[in-house]
Structure 1
């Protein structure tokens, strides 16, 4: 049952990155859109993220609950030593959701829209930035359980080049996902090409930020190269992601958009698989070659069994409900258009 729980944890992180990441990316796209095109961009964003924007954070909640119940030592360590970036990320989620709701459903359209819009845009950038910082910090080896000062314990555990580079890479990935997803939401060629250009921009940004991640890992003696290229899983995953990227752009230039979303999702899945496979089950790598393992530092057997059972049973309700939610919104939009 322990491996069932671990699979649910990894899957919830992946789904949050694919769905929640694209949700954040929508705001990032708006931030990097010229003023004359922002109105049409917002209209497209509402149609795209409206059906699932409230459900996206469900995957983050599931991941947190799994860590809290099944791996309390890991949850405690991260929530203590990374409490500052965690707090910023959560505040970003709250600010973003609040601004999105008020600017979309506010009955009165007044000057407050000038406040809602920048809050939505900048929190869409800040939230995935700190999500990536948290992820990078967890495997950087900078968390020191024996730290004797505030700076060593709560600042330098996450404020370093590698974590910041991973944060910027996460932002670019979110923008890339949203751009690709939005291509299929447009009904005219000019808008489709505009989002295609956004996808190109964030694709290039992801490559640049990815290079920065590797450079930072070399500077800080983090064995990222070995994690990625030191095993056959990593080599196959990276090769597959590269080939799927080429296929995706070929499909786009051919005017075929049906496979764009699956291909973009596959690329992100391969990246996550590559960066997590090599050091599994060590989910948190600490200073002085210490670590926190999903196997060695799991909770009591009864807690794991109960948690695994709850996840299996819950998935029978959550997944059909999510698919029905998306179907309902798509059907409603089609009826409105007709």
Structure 2
């Protein structure tokens, strides 16, 4: 049953990266959109993310519950030594959702709408930034349970070049995902070309940020190159992601809207597979050379059994409901968005 739980954890993280990433990326795209085009971009954005934006954080909640119930030592370590970036990320999620609601449903439309807009776009940037920082910190070997001062214990565990580089890489990936999804919602060639340009820029930004990640890993003696290229799975995943990226750009020119979304999600899957396979089952690498493992540091056997059964049974209800949610939104007339743009 432990492997069922681990699979659910990995899939939950993947779905949050793909769906939540596109959601955050919509705000990032809005940040880099000119003022005269922002209103139209927002309307298209709502059509794209409307079916899933309220359900996205379900995957994060599932991942947190799995760690809390099934891997309490890992959960306690992360929430202790990475509590600062975790808090910033959670505050970003709250601020973003609140701003999105108030800027669309506020009874009075005044200058506060400008503040809501700024909160929305900035929190859309900050949240994936710190999500990536947390992921990078977990494997950076900077978490130090033996630290004797505040800075070593709670700041340098995440405030390093490698973790920050992964944070910006995550931001670029989210922007790229959103741009690809928004291409499929564009109703004319001008809008479509605009989102293609944004996708191209985010793709370039992801390449630059990804290069920075590798440079930082070498500088800080993190064996990222070995993790990615030191095994057949990593090489195959990188190759598949590269081929799919080339195919994606080819199909964009052919107007294949659905398949480019699938390919973008496939690339995120390959990236996550590449970065997690080699050091599995170690989920946190400690500064003292130790690690926390999903196998060695699992919770009580009864807890794992109960958690596995709950996840299997719950998926029977959650997944059909999610598919119905997406389907129901797709039945709306063309051009109608979930919420009105302001």
Name the TM-score, length of structure 1 as normaliser: 0.98
How far is 1:208 from its partner? 0.2
1:206 alignment partner in structure 2: 206
Cα distance in structure 1, aligned partners of 2:107 and 2:180: 32
What residue ranges of structure 1 are gaps of 5+ in the alignment? Answer: none
Match in the other structure for 2:297: 297
* 1:283 counterpart SS class: strand
Counterpart of 2:297 in 1: which secondary structure?
Answer: coil
| Structure of higher RCO (CA pairs closer than 8 Å, 6+ residues apart) | 2
Whole-angstrom CA distance in 1 between matches of 2:237 and 2:273: 7
2:284 corresponding residue in structure 1: 284
Q: Give 1:10's aligned residue.
A: 10
2:80 equivalent to 1:80 = yes
Partner of 1:266: 266
Once the two structures are superposed, residues 147-170 of structure 1 have per-residue CA deviations (whole angstroms, 9 ceiling, x without a partner) of 000000000000000000000000
Q: Deviations over 1:31-76 (max 9, x none)?
A: 0111111111001111111221110000000000000000000000
Task: Give CA-to-partner distance per residue, 1:124-171, whole Å, 9 cap, x none.
Answer: 000000000000000000000100000000000000000000000000
State the partner residue of 1:321. 321
Match of 2:102 in 1: 102
State the alpha-carbon separation in 2 of the partners of residues 38 and 226 from structure 1: 43
CA RMSD of aligned residues (A): 1.0
Pairing 1:32-43 to 2, within 5 Å after superposition: 32-43=32-43
- 1:192 alignment counterpart: 192
Aligned pairs, how many? 337
Q: Which residue of 1 aligns with 2:148?
A: 148
Q: What residue is the counterpart of 2:340 in the other structure?
A: none
Query: What SS class does the counterpart of residue 332 from structure 1 fall into?
Result: coil
CA contact (8 A) 2:47 2:336 kept: no
- How far the C-alpha of 1:336 sits from its partner, in A, is 5.2
8 Å CA contact retained: 2:70, 2:298:
yes
Aligned-residue offset at 1:289: 1.2
CA distance in structure 2 between the aligned counterparts of 1:54 and 1:161, rounded to whole angstroms = 33
Aligned-residue offset at 1:105: 1.8
* Cα separation, 2, equivalents of 1:251 and 1:50: 25
Query: Residues 260 and 335 from structure 1, CA distance in 2 versus in 1: closer, same or farther, beyond 3 angstroms?
Result: closer
Partner of residue 130, structure 1: 130
Matched with 2:312 is 312
Which runs of 5 or more structure 2 residues have no equivalent in the other structure? 338-342
CA distance in 1, matches of 2:114, 2:8: 40
Pairwise CA distance, 1:186: 1.2
- Cα drift, residue 335 of structure 1: 9.4
| Helix, strand or coil at the partner of 2:137 | helix
Cα distance between partner residues in 2 of 1:58 and 1:83: 21
The change in CA–CA distance for 1:111 and 1:181 in structure 2 (over 3 A counts) is same
Following TM superposition, by how much is the alpha carbon of 1:334 offset from its aligned partner in structure 2, in angstroms? 4.3
The two structures have a TM-score, normalised by structure 2, of 0.97
Question: Which residue of the partner structure matches residue 182 of structure 1?
Answer: 182
Q: Which residue in the other structure is 1:113 paired with? A: 113
| Secondary structure, counterpart of 2:283 in structure 1 | strand
